């Protein structure tokens, strides 16, 4: 059973006040709040298990390594990877994309090759590819979106040729909430032997993701957007691809042996985890995933869909509100403009009412260029938000309008 009261009690920060008002946190696409079990797990780790992983023979190091590797298994099961060695811990989504762009790119991308990304991508799924293209004299092309914020599939097909080596798209757009049809995108790319990286930063926390069923080549996401700590993320890659890729960084832990004549690299996944990893973050991610698994992602999805539909309808009643991004399939992200009020001004006033929303370009400037705007106000929901909070948001927006007229 989905008990919203109990769920909200699991997140201590939700009961705090901001400027004397109840906190209404609607910036979940930027980062999510943490449940008590994750906070307690981190505290327990520092109180009882802290030692560097994969290093020493002593008790604490062994315990800490076991926790770290157990978290890897939790993540493997969560996204249904075939092997734990396909799960690489990174600093986050950005770090994971840079890893692939650098390592896969170094080995496989040549002059004149084409990389496709959607026009709606987050900067972190554009810039690393742009940098790769500059290094390799390859060509970055964008797949256009339509005016609803959906990837234009016909244009995508037109762009696919044998020259395309990588297609990198988000499962869900962070600025618009569009759920992209990644299954179809992957299938088509594979017909041209292109590899596909899916940026799951805004998808993995909302619905069940099965990387084997999707048949994506790479899948990346961030811990902090799925109720875990910051500074931890995941790169999933197909084993045979990761095997062929050179290490991204050199250092301790990623080697079997080192001499000045020759260094032999460690097997997967450690080959890509140079230096002391963020084992605390990894354990927190394992714990966060156990938490949402116990609530059940299907229950979460059902609740979040109801909440998103409510928000979409309710916001329609706010005069002069123009939604940006009206895709047929969306998560709980609503981007909008309020008359000619600058999003930043609206955000500041909402903040004083205890309502946290994001304003600006959401690290997706090409999306803003597409719509010819400077930015939006974005409300993004998690499964601990409520319809009452959405009502408060609408009242807050009316207050903003009154102040400006
Ligand atoms: N991709 C998408 C779709 C995102 O929403 C974000 C963050 O907002 C990122 C990538 C970058 O994530 P991080 O900053 O955790 O690396």
Q: Give the model confidence (pLDDT) of 279-294 as tens digits.
A: 999 999 999 999 999 9
Exposure string of 99-125, with b = 16+ CB inside 10 Å and e = fewer, is bbbbbbbeeebeeebbbbbbbbbbebb
What's the mean pLDDT in 346-364? 98
Distance 250 CA to ligand 1 centre (A): 25
What's the mean pLDDT in 95-112? 98
Ligand 1 binding pocket includes 378 (Cβ within 6 Å): no
∠ CA 149-129-168, rounded to 5°:
45
How large a percentage of the chain has pLDDT more than 90? 99
pLDDT digits (tens, 9 = 90+) for 156-185: 999 999 999 999 999 999 999 999 999 999
pLDDT digits (tens, 9 = 90+) for 38-84: 999 999 999 999 999 987 899 999 999 999 999 999 999 999 999 99
Ligand 1 binding pocket includes 27 (Cβ within 6 Å): no
What's the mean pLDDT in 357-382? 98
H-run or E-run covering 356:
strand 355-356
Atom nearest to 171 CA in ligand 1: 3
Distance 341 CA to ligand 1 centre (A): 27
What's the mean pLDDT in 106-120? 98
Q: Count Cβ atoms below 10 Å from residue 40 Cβ, excluding itself.
A: 12
Please state, in angstroms and as integers, the Cα–Cα distance from residue 214 to each residue in 184, 298, 321, following that order: 9, 18, 37
Please tell me the distance from the alpha carbon of residue 94 to that of residue 2, in angstroms, as a whole number: 33
Burial class (CB in 10 A: 0-12, 13-18, 19+), 191: exposed
Pairing of strands 87-90, 233-237: antiparallel
Q: Could you state, in order of their start, the residue ranges of all structural domains in the chain?
A: 4-28+296-403, 39-293
Closest CA to 286 of 32, 89, 43: 89
Cis peptide bond upstream of 269, omega within 30: yes
Q: Outline where 142-278 has alpha helix (H).
A: 153-159, 182-191, 211-214, 239-244
Chain mean position to CA 46: 27
Catalytic positions? 363
pLDDT value of residue 201: 98
Ligand 1 binding pocket includes 202 (Cβ within 6 Å): yes
Distance between the two ends of the chain, CA-based, in angstroms?
45
Query: Does 124 score more than 90 pLDDT?
Result: yes
Asked: is 39-293 a CATH 3.40.640.10 domain? The reply is yes
Count of helix runs (H) and strand runs (E) in the chain:
14, 17
Whose C-alpha lies nearest to ligand 1, atom 14? Answer: 94
pLDDT value of residue 1: 73
Return the structure tokens found at 238: 């197909």
Exposure string of 166-188, with b = 16+ CB inside 10 Å and e = fewer, is bbbbbbbbbbbbbbbbbeebbeb
Query: Does 364 score more than 80 pLDDT?
Result: yes
Class of domain 4-28+296-403: alpha beta
Distance 72 CA to ligand 1 centre (A): 21
How large a percentage of the chain has pLDDT more than 70? 100
Under a CB-based contact definition with an 8 Å cutoff, are residues 232 and 92 in contact?
yes
Please tell me the distance from the alpha carbon of residue 355 to that of residue 396, in angstroms, as a whole number: 8
Query: Does 405 score more than 90 pLDDT?
Result: no
Under a CB-based contact definition with an 8 Å cutoff, are residues 221 and 233 in contact?
yes
pLDDT value of residue 295: 97
Return the structure tokens found at 266: 């460690």
Query: Does 380 score more than 80 pLDDT?
Result: yes
What's the mean pLDDT in 366-389? 98
Please tell me the distance from the alpha carbon of residue 344 to that of residue 323, in angstroms, as a whole number: 16
> How high is the mean pLDDT of the chain?
97
Distance 334 CA to ligand 1 centre (A): 17
Please tell me the distance from the alpha carbon of residue 6 to that of residue 295, in angstroms, as a whole number: 11
H-run or E-run covering 114:
strand 114-118
Ligand 1 binding pocket includes 361 (Cβ within 6 Å): no
> DSSP assignment, residue 207?
S
Closest CA to 156 of 144, 173, 174: 144
Ligand 1 binding pocket includes 96 (Cβ within 6 Å): no
pLDDT digits (tens, 9 = 90+) for 300-318: 999 999 999 999 999 999 9
pLDDT value of residue 75: 98
Ligand 1 pocket test, candidate residues 122, 128, 199, 332, most atoms within 8 A of CB: 122
Calculate helix-pair angle for 93-108, 127-136, nearest 10 degrees: 20
> DSSP assignment, residue 358?
E
pLDDT digits (tens, 9 = 90+) for 205-249: 999 999 999 999 999 999 999 999 999 999 999 999 999 999 999
Pick 213 or 2 by higher pLDDT.
213
Please tell me the distance from the alpha carbon of residue 299 to that of residue 74, in angstroms, as a whole number: 19
Ligand 1 binding pocket includes 91 (Cβ within 6 Å): no
């Amino acid at each position: 059973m989905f008990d919203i009261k109990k769920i909200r009690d699991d997140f201590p920060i939700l009961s705090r006040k901001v400027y004397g008002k109840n906190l209404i946190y609607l910036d979940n696409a930027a980062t999510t709040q943490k449940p008590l079990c994750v906070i307690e797990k981190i505290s327990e780790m520092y109180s009882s298990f802290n030692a560097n992983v994969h290093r020493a023979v002593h008790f604490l190091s062994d315990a800490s390594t076991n926790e770290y590797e157990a978290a890897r298994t939790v993540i493997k099961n969560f996204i249904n990877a075939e092997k734990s060695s396909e799960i690489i811990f990174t600093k986050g989504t950005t770090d994971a994309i840079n890893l692939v762009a650098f390592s896969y790119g170094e080995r496989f991308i040549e002059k004149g090759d084409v990389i496709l990304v959607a026009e709606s991508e987050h900067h972190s799924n554009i810039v690393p590819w742009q940098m790769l293209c500059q290094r390799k004299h390859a060509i970055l092309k964008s797949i256009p979106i339509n005016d609803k914020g959906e990837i234009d599939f016909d244009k995508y097909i037109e762009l696919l040729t044998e020259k395309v080596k990588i297609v990198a798209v988000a499962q869900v757009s962070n600025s618009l909430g569009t759920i992209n049809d990644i299954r179809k995108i992957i299938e088509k790319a594979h017909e041209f032997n292109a590899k596909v990286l899916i940026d799951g930063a805004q998808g993995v926390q909302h619905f069940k993701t099965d990387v084997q069923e999707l048949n994506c080549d790479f899948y990346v996401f961030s811990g902090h957007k799925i109720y875990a700590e910051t500074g931890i993320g995941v790169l999933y890659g197909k084993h045979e691809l990761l095997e062929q890729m050179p290490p991204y960084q050199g250092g301790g832990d990623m080697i079997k042996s080192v001499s000045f004549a020759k260094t032999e690299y460690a097997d997967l996944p450690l080959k890509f985890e140079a230096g002391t990893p963020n084992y605390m973050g990894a354990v927190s991610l394992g714990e966060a995933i156990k938490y949402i698994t116990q609530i059940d992602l299907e229950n979460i999805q059902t609740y979040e869909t109801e909440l998103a539909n409510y928000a979409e309808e309710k916001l329609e009643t706010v005069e002069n509100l123009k939604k940006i991004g009206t895709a047929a399939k969306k998560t709980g992200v609503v981007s909008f403009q309020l008359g000619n009020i600058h999003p930043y001004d609206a955000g500041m006033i909402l903040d004083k009412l205890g309502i946290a929303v994001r304003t600006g370009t959401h690290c997706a400037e090409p999306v803003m260029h597409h719509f010819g705007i400077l930015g939006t106000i974005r409300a993004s929901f998690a499964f601990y938000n409520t319809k009452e909070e959405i009502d408060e948001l609408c009242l807050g927006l009316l207050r903003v309008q009154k102040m400006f007229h």
